[in-house]
Amino acid sequence: MSQTKDARPRRAALYIRVSTEEQAKKGYSLPAQREDLEEFAKKNGYTVAGCYIDEGKSARKKYANRKEFMRMLEDVKAGRIDVILFIKLDRWFRSVADYYKIQEILDAHNVAWKTTQEHYDTETTNGRLYINIRLSVAQDESDRDSDRIKFVFDSKVARGEVITGSLPLGLTIRNKHVVPDPETADIAQALFHHYRTHGSAGAAARHIQDTYGLFLQDHTVRRMLRNPLYKGAYRDNPSYCQPLIPPQEFDAIQKQLESRSIRRSPVGRVYLFSGLVRCACCGRRMSGSYSASGGREYYLYRCRNACVQHSCPHRRQMSESRLEQWLLLQLAKELDRWELFWSVEPVQPRRSGPGQGTIRRRLERLKDLYVNELITLEQYRQDYSKYSLQLQQAGGAASPPPVPQLPEELLSGGFGPIYAALDRARRRDFWYGIIREIRLDGDNLPRVIFRNQPY
């Protein structure tokens, strides 16, 4: 056995790779591979420099995704390894291209490799040709296995059968099919409904934590909101399983995610209206900027087409605090106006009795007041019951009440103090819950489009 020039034993790295399927079918267990490699190293006078084990990794995957393989390469480059041992060539690679990429690194650092159960000669033309042939055969075998697995999976998906045990919150497996989980389905539905109502993933996560005691990261919430499995679709099967979220509602949320996405500040600053403010001149969303002076912070919005690309006439910046105060004033005016309107609106039927058309119009007006958060839930229930009774007496029926859109306490008279106590993140969630878009013209005069208001 040859040794290094200073007569030290050659330092051997033991590389072990096995996928779950191979371990089960071919007996390539990790202990069996390790025992074989250690025995080979001892018989040939090698010292074991390290053992590198990639468990559950397929040879089809890019070698960069094998954590232990990459750690071994770093040790090769650092000069800690003289030879790499593995049991068979297919433990190393099944791709000719990847094999030669790594071989260049090994050659550059004078590191050899050996297999314990096969014999290869890398120093002759015939030997290298034989390696190419074996690698090509292994790659072809792997490709065929992949095609067979894909065919089986496609058949299972078409029949609505599960092919993975990893499912999002609210779903579970029963009789090889995905079904709503009776223990968590209501949590997932509440998450979707809260986002549909308020338009904020962060607010939805906090709602789930406050209501159910379950902590969800914001990115987990966004991943759930985009998972088509909730509407019953998977891969190419739109009817893969029973929908937990109605497909129309799920699709509406996808549009909401796209149109109402909040641009995250790289330093964690919260802009109250980021993603909501749009330039009325060019139609582009206005970007936020920040500055600080004299101990005060300033948040501004500007049109990048005007300030950076000089292709829009809207060159004025809008102060966030000024826009916030304007919106609060307008909101207060609207609440006062509707409260006064409602106080003088007759709620008792005329002596002659209102007709069905009159009652229906009052119900529609009442619904609009409530949906647009201009009356409280208590007011709505009281007058809805009154009008419903009148309609029933007139021979008609009332439509079901709408789903609440905002917390009742925000519209029950204590709005100002409640808003003032909110931090910036919750203020942003509030505005995202009621506003679809704010359009600023060249003079920074706002036009607000509320969520329940058509364009």
pLDDT in tens, 210-253: 888 898 887 889 899 999 999 999 988 999 999 999 999 999 88
The pLDDT, as a whole number, for residue 410 is 46
CA–CA separation, 416 and 140 (whole Å): 70
Q: Is the pLDDT of residue 124 over 80?
A: no
Q: Is the pLDDT of residue 146 over 50?
A: yes
CA–CA separation, 359 and 353 (whole Å): 10
Choice among 63-77, 323-337, 397-411 with the minimum mean pLDDT: 397-411
Active site residue 19: yes
402: its two tokens: 């709408």
Choice among 49-58, 213-222, 229-238, 257-266 with the minimum mean pLDDT: 257-266
The pLDDT, as a whole number, for residue 100 is 80
The pLDDT, as a whole number, for residue 401 is 40
Share of the chain above pLDDT 90, in %: 25
The answer for residues whose C-beta is within 8 angstroms of residue 406's C-beta and 6 or more apart is 197, 198, 373, 433, 434
Higher pLDDT, residue 86 or 268: 86
Q: How confident is residue 64, by pLDDT bands cut at 50, 70 and 90?
A: confident
Higher pLDDT, residue 366 or 59: 366
Q: How confident is residue 8, by pLDDT bands cut at 50, 70 and 90?
A: confident
The pLDDT, as a whole number, for residue 405 is 41
Mean pLDDT of all residues in 136-156? 71
The pLDDT, as a whole number, for residue 437 is 87
Q: Is the pLDDT of residue 267 over 70?
A: no
The pLDDT, as a whole number, for residue 152 is 74
Mean pLDDT of all residues in 139-148? 67
The pLDDT, as a whole number, for residue 79 is 94
The pLDDT, as a whole number, for residue 347 is 39
Q: Is the pLDDT of residue 403 over 60?
A: no
The pLDDT, as a whole number, for residue 39 is 94
The pLDDT, as a whole number, for residue 338 is 47
pTM of the model: 0.42
The pLDDT, as a whole number, for residue 245 is 94
Q: How confident is residue 200, by pLDDT bands cut at 50, 70 and 90?
A: confident
Average pLDDT of the chain, as a whole number = 78
Alpha helices in 85-162 (DSSP H): 89-92, 96-108, 125-158
Which of 19, 95, 200, 274 is catalytic? The answer is 19
Cα–Cα distance list, 365 to 306, 341, 417 (Å): 42, 12, 29
Max mean pLDDT range (47-61, 345-359, 362-376) = 47-61
Pairing status of strand 112-115 against strand 83-86 = parallel
**Pseudo-torsion of CA 232, 235, 238, 242, nearest 10°?**
-20
The answer for residues whose C-beta is within 8 angstroms of residue 384's C-beta and 6 or more apart is 363, 366, 398, 401
The pLDDT, as a whole number, for residue 168 is 92
The pLDDT, as a whole number, for residue 394 is 64
Q: Is the pLDDT of residue 33 over 80?
A: yes
pLDDT tens digits along 82-105: 999 998 877 777 676 788 888 889
Domain 171-259: CATH superfamily, name plus number? Putative Large Serine Recombinase; Chain B, Domain 2 (3.90.1750.20)
Higher pLDDT, residue 246 or 389: 246
The pLDDT, as a whole number, for residue 46 is 94
378: its two tokens: 């208590």
Helix (H, G, I), strand (E, B) or coil at 212: helix
pLDDT tens digits along 283-305: 888 888 888 888 889 999 999 88
What would be the CATH architecture of the domain defined by 11-141? 3-Layer(aba) Sandwich (3.40)
| CA angle, 427 then 196 then 172, to 5° | 120
Higher pLDDT, residue 199 or 240: 240
CA–CA separation, 248 and 349 (whole Å): 39
Mean pLDDT of all residues in 39-45? 93
Higher pLDDT, residue 379 or 312: 312
324: its two tokens: 């916030």
The pLDDT, as a whole number, for residue 123 is 54
The pLDDT, as a whole number, for residue 315 is 87
Q: How confident is residue 139, by pLDDT bands cut at 50, 70 and 90?
A: low
The pLDDT, as a whole number, for residue 355 is 63
User: Domain ranges in the chain?
Assistant: 11-141, 171-259
